[in-house]
């Protein structure tokens, strides 16, 4: 039986990945910071240092001899997957959305060309991949659940001075039926009030493009939609003042209906819209609120 070795710092990610691997017929070994589903699991104290985790994975890997080593494609997971792969002189593919095994090779899908296309890549085993855990539907699987404690070797390559959890507000973008997504067409932070008014009328969640969350910090990061943010699938998405660059558009492709409002009649957003309103959001939104 082929063996897989998994690392994910979040138990939820770990379980999604391990259920998929089990379904594909792997014996699942793993390292995690909390109890999770695996045939053989090492549990350690949480540790977010790449050098330490790489050393730990190297050690476990040398013991287990896995055919496939899988990380969760978080920032930490990507960083460690590449360092681990280089140490083991193995190929590595990050940001995998899907995986299939055929004999001694594995086929994965990932975005390419900034999200314009989806590439299918095949590589022979042994190999390393980092998987976008949220893209995997977890399934019910039964595991041997041999669990043992593990002490991650300490490394001093870099020193952590401080760590601060990001404040997260619970955002229901993924479950929302209606989403209003705003972009740089909005001139100032205060104008979000106008959008909020509309959102209340429609019982909608508010999402945004990357400049609004990451550059201007008008909205928290968890409201960002796109390649590096949330992928949403509402019944209706209303996109306001968003140009529709591919890295953003990737996040809205599963919406059932898309309405966009943009002053530019030829913004890339047009291709991603069912209804494309050419006009100024500052004129249209107040009228729209009146009409609803």
* Binding-site ranges for ligand FAD (CB under 6 A): 183-185, 209-211, 224-229, 241-243, 245, 247-248, 251, 261-264, 267, 280-282
What is d(CA 261, CA 277) in angstroms, rounded to the nearest whole number? 5
Closer residue to another protein in complex, CB, 2/270:
270
Closer residue to ligand FAD in complex, CB, 70/250:
250
- Length reported for the chain: 292
236 binds another protein (CB under 8 A): yes
Residues of this chain, 23-42, that bind another protein according to CB under 8 A: none
Closer residue to ligand FAD in complex, CB, 68/181:
181
Q: Of 154, 85, 21, nearest to 29 (Cα)?
A: 21
174 binds another protein (CB under 8 A): no
Asked if 260 and 129 count as a contact pair (C-beta separation under 8 A), the reply is: no
- In the structure encoding, which two tokens stand for residue 54, read together? 């790489």
Q: Of 201, 246, 216, nearest to 228 (Cα)?
A: 246
Q: How many residues make contact with another protein (CB under 8 A)?
A: 84
79 binds another protein (CB under 8 A): yes
Q: Of 4, 28, 18, nearest to 136 (Cα)?
A: 18
226 binds, among ligand FAD, another protein, none (CB under 5 to 8 A by kind): ligand FAD
Shortest distance in whole angstroms from residue 39 CB to another protein: 27
Distances (CA, A) of 153 to 14, 78, 137, 158, 171: 21, 20, 33, 14, 37
Give, in degrees to the nearest 5, the angle at Cα 201 between 195 and 205: 60
168 binds another protein (CB under 8 A): yes
Closer residue to another protein in complex, CB, 192/236:
236
The residue number whose beta carbon is nearest to ligand FAD equals 226
């Amino acid at each position: 039986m082929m063996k897989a070795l998994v690392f994910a710092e979040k138990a939820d990610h770990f379980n999604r990945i391990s259920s998929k691997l089990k379904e594909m017929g792997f014996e699942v070994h793993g390292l995690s910071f909390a109890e999770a589903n695996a045939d053989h699991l090492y549990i350690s104290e949480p540790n977010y240092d790449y050098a330490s985790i790489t050393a730990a994975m190297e050690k476990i890997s040398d013991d287990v001899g896995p055919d496939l080593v899988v990380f969760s494609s978080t920032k930490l997971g990507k960083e460690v997957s590449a360092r681990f792969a280089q140490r083991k002189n193995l190929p590595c593919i990050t940001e995998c959305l899907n995986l299939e095994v055929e004999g001694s090779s594995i086929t994965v899908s990932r975005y390419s060309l900034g999200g314009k296309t989806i590439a299918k890549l095949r590589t022979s085993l042994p190999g390393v991949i980092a998987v976008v855990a949220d893209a995997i539907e977890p399934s019910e699987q039964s595991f041997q659940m041999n669990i043992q404690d593990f002490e991650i070797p300490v490394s001093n390559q870099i020193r952590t001075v401080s760590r601060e959890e990001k404040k997260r507000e619970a955002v229901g973008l993924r479950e929302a039926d209606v989403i209003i997504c705003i972009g740089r067409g909005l001139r100032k932070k205060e104008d979000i009030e106008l959008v909020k008014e509309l959102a209340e009328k429609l019982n909608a969640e508010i999402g945004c493009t990357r400049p609004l969350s990451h550059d201007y910090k008008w909205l928290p990061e968890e409201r960002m939609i796109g390649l590096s943010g949330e992928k949403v699938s509402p019944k209706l998405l209303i996109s306001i003042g968003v140009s529709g660059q591919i890295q953003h558009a990737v996040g809205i492709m599963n919406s059932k209906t898309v309405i966009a409002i943009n002053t530019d009649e030829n913004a890339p957003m047009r291709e991603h819209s069912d209804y494309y309103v050419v006009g100024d959001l500052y004129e249209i939104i107040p009228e729209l609120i009146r009409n609803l």
